[in-house]
Amino acid sequence: MIKPKPLVAGNWKMNGLRASLNEIIKLNDFLGRSAPKCDVLICPPVTLISSIVQLNLEHVFIGSQDCHTNTNGAHTGDISAEMLRDIGCSHIIIGHSERRVGHGEDNEIVNKKATQAQTVGTTAIICVGETIHEYEAKKTLEVIVSQINSSIPSHATAENTIIAYEPIWAIGSGKVPTVGSVKEVHAVIRKVLVERFGNDGDKINILYGGSVNASNAHTLMSVVNVNGALVGGASLKADDFFNIISVYDQFD
């Protein structure tokens, strides 16, 4: 297969009411006028997904922020990958640190959820990242390699899998790692992906996430093996998010 386009993905987390649909409509209009060189995805809270899908937006993929490890059954309050696919999701974020930490999701659970997402035909965006303590103890690479090996199902392809490297200490903090550090971590992720998945491993998109904004996006997206961004806070407003997406217009 050909290498997928880079992806700039917005993770709205637990933010957004129906009035926020206007931001997505605005974003879609911006994208319609600019022909961006990357794919664009919004992962709103699940309550907004159906309404957004019904807008039939041409330029924005819609995804979810989580799914369950099972297809259906007695799991009160949970939502399966199959249900998300059924209402129009193309991607599902899996193993975000706010799920890993806040909901006790370990690599095994993340692997099962990713398998569900892939099985129903969505692309799993599998998140990895080290804590501040691991970073300070210089354990980043060790932690990331272990998360990559344990969290990614063995049937991963460039079509059904995207990796997001998000240092936990960089999320929502305004702090970002140095370019050298991002380069090093993404190179190691690429190496492990190629070892495990061969040619597909070479094509799987690896996103960087953690305090990406319009000022640092160009620098971060220029790093080798950074194939897009996972953006939280700066994805909530169409103008801010579009400024990040537009960085790709400056690349050949």
Residue ranges in contact with ligand PGA by CB under 6 A: 11, 166, 171-172, 209-212, 230-234
- Tokens 């597909």 correspond to what residue? 200
228 versus 233: smaller Cβ distance to ligand PGA: 233
Helical residues (DSSP H) of 65-139, grouped into ranges: 81-86, 97-102, 107-119, 132-136
129 versus 201: smaller Cβ distance to ligand PGA: 129
Report the length, in residues, of the chain.
252
Q: Quote the CA–CA distance of 97 and 127 in Å, as a whole number.
A: 7
- Tokens 């190691």 correspond to what residue? 188
197 versus 226: smaller Cβ distance to ligand PGA: 226
Q: How far is the CB of 29 from ligand PGA (least distance, A)?
A: 23
CA dihedral 75, 101, 44, 93 (to 10 degrees): -80
Q: Which of 136, 63, 73 lies closest to 96, judged by CA?
A: 63
Residue 6 and residue 38 in contact, taking contact as beta carbons nearer than 8 Å: yes
Q: How far is the CB of 176 from ligand PGA (least distance, A)?
A: 9
Q: How far is the CB of 173 from ligand PGA (least distance, A)?
A: 7
Cα angle for residues 84, 199, 107 (degrees, 5° grid): 45
Q: How far is the CB of 206 from ligand PGA (least distance, A)?
A: 14
11 versus 140: smaller Cβ distance to ligand PGA: 11
Catalytic residues: 96, 166
14 versus 74: smaller Cβ distance to ligand PGA: 14
Handedness of CA 175, 179, 185, 190 (dihedral sign): positive
Widest CA span in the chain: 50
Q: How far is the CB of 72 from ligand PGA (least distance, A)?
A: 28
Cross-strand bridge partners of residue 1: none
Q: How far is the CB of 209 from ligand PGA (least distance, A)?
A: 4
Q: Quote the CA–CA distance of 10 and 214 in Å, as a whole number.
A: 13
36 versus 232: smaller Cβ distance to ligand PGA: 232
Q: Tokens representing 112?
A: 């099962």
